[in-house]
Amino acid sequence: MVKTRIAPSPTGFPHVGTAYIGIFSYVWARKNGGRFIVRIEDTDQNRYVEGAEEGILRALKWLGLDYDEGPDVGGPNGPYRQSERLELYRRYAQELLDKGLAYRAFETPEELAAIREELQKKGLGYGYDGRARNIPRAEAEARAAAGEPHVIRLKTPESGSVVVYDELRGAIEFSSHEIPDVVLLKSDGYPTYHLAVVVDDHLMEVTDVIRGEDWLVSTPIQKLLYQAFGWDEPKWYHLPLLRAPGGAKLSKRTGHTSIDYYREEGFLPEALVNYLSTMGFSMPDEREIFGLEEMIAAFSWERVSLGGPVFDEEKLRWMNGKYIREVLSLEEACDRLKPFLQSAGLEWGTDEYLCQVVTVMRPRFETLKEFVEKARYFFDEDYPFAPKAEKELRKGAETLRELKELLAGLPDFAPERTEEAITAFAAARDLKLRKVMQPLRAAITGSLATPGMYELLEILGKERVMKRLERAFAHLRELEGDQ
């Protein structure tokens, strides 16, 4: 059975990179009828952030990446939080010690810094020379027993090479002398990533490790660990890293990397997932709008490209708009908007009214949050007047007064009726339609960017429109009073 996992660290907000890798892991597991699990890698006590785990799990659920096993849902191979598995790592580190494949090292951070500097001068690529290998076993055990702080390091081969097989790139060879004696167990008793990931992936029966390319060069270390334990290694897939517009790895400094940011800005989870999926994957028929189910059906590693994709928020916005106007049903779109209206303190009355508004507004906003900004006047009689709208108001004040009388005489604001009345009104005065429309638009919305006038009038209704015209004239008087 194919089993994939995602292993986020609770060190901050939920990262889009986690979602990105999560999508491919999820899809590959589902494609194969396998299992997708979440494991929390909280082995760094210094970087641990309270609440981060909850944020990450919430984000994964929001995106629709439901997992079969995880810290909050349990599973057959738990616990799924590394801080709760410390005994396991110690036991396995001991096993390596017993086999003579690992050793205790007692250097202080200062000593290590000195060693690193020294090696750096010699032009060597990494930071430890394996000198503690020379400490006699008995002495090391005695010092450890005496409570001397130390770490346990992996004894890596001194010659030869390690060949890693990446499913997306093929065989990659690393010279053994470039693989350092990495720390397996830290002096605080916590494991490092290398030990924890191998022990957990093995125990949790992970068959396919899908992760970011930044892990590629550490794979030989983990492969060595699998060998040391005598376990079968999983298949490795290293996905390219998401890039920021400049080209560097997407980070806090180079772009918006928090999933929460996108949720708060009014992006739809479906759109974010869809967009992230197109970062490296493409459908056989080149369609760009597709959901997880479609991706699962069409997925193949051959359709994954390896160039680092640049995360383009502009295209994400376009795609989000596409979802709002073409993928979501009208009712669904209305429901998604409600929380945003609420947090803006706006009331929409009936669902029917909201849907009328959304119907005409749908082609005009790309994020849920943007709707609130652009459709405010539908929900607030105290809508503000934009400077350009005020200008139209001034220019068309006379026309508007006459138009108001006309509108007041109409029995109702059915589109056919208002259209006939207004076009006739303009024709009678030999006015271009816009000379009539713009002042009216400005008056009843405070804006010059709105849906069509006839639908606007119908949705707002005669009563509200007449009141708004009154208010607009009042506003006009204030403006003139100021001058």
Partner RNA sequence: GGCCCCUUCGACUAGCGGUUAGGUCACCGCCCUUUCAAGGCGGCGGCACGGGUUCGAGUCCCGUAGGGGUCACCA
User: Which of 283, 287, 288 has its CA nearest to residue 316?
Assistant: 288
SS3 3: strand
- Binding to RNA in span 214-243, by CB under 7 A: 214-218, 240-241, 243
**Dist CA 341 CA 362 (whole Å):** 15
By CB under 7 A, residue 190 contacts RNA = yes
> Looking at the chain, how many residues does it have?
483
Which CB sits closer to RNA, 317 or 482? 317
Q: Which one among 282, 291, 355, 417 touches RNA, defined by CB under 7 A? A: 282
Which CB sits closer to RNA, 145 or 171? 171
By CB under 7 A, residue 434 contacts RNA = yes
By CB under 7 A, residue 448 contacts RNA = yes
- Binding to RNA in span 257-276, by CB under 7 A: none
Amino acid residing at 92: Y
Q: Between helices 415-428 and 433-445, what is the axis angle to 10°?
A: 130
Taking the complex as a whole, the smallest distance from the CB of residue 483 to RNA amounts, in Å, to 25
Query: Is the separation of the CB atoms in 445 and 377 below 8 Å?
Result: yes
Name the catalytic one among 31, 121, 235, 252: 252
Amino acid residing at 190: Y
CB within 8 A of 285, min separation 6: which ones? none
Q: Which one among 309, 396, 439, 446 touches RNA, defined by CB under 7 A? A: 309
Q: Which stretch binds RNA (CB under 7 A): 93-101, 129-137, 166-174, 226-234?
A: 166-174
Taking the complex as a whole, the smallest distance from the CB of residue 178 to RNA amounts, in Å, to 5
Q: Which stretch binds RNA (CB under 7 A): 52-60, 199-207, 260-268, 306-314?
A: 306-314
Which CB sits closer to RNA, 207 or 450? 450
By CB under 7 A, residue 428 contacts RNA = no
- Binding to RNA in span 36-75, by CB under 7 A: 41, 43-44, 46-47
435 a catalytic residue? no
Amino acid residing at 415: P
Which CB sits closer to RNA, 58 or 249? 249
Phi then psi dihedrals of residue 210, to 5 deg: -110, 120
User: What's the distance, CA 286 to chain centroid?
Assistant: 23
Structure tokens at 284: 């056989």
User: What count of other Cβ atoms lies within 10 Å of the Cβ of residue 273?
Assistant: 22
**Catalytic residue positions?**
252
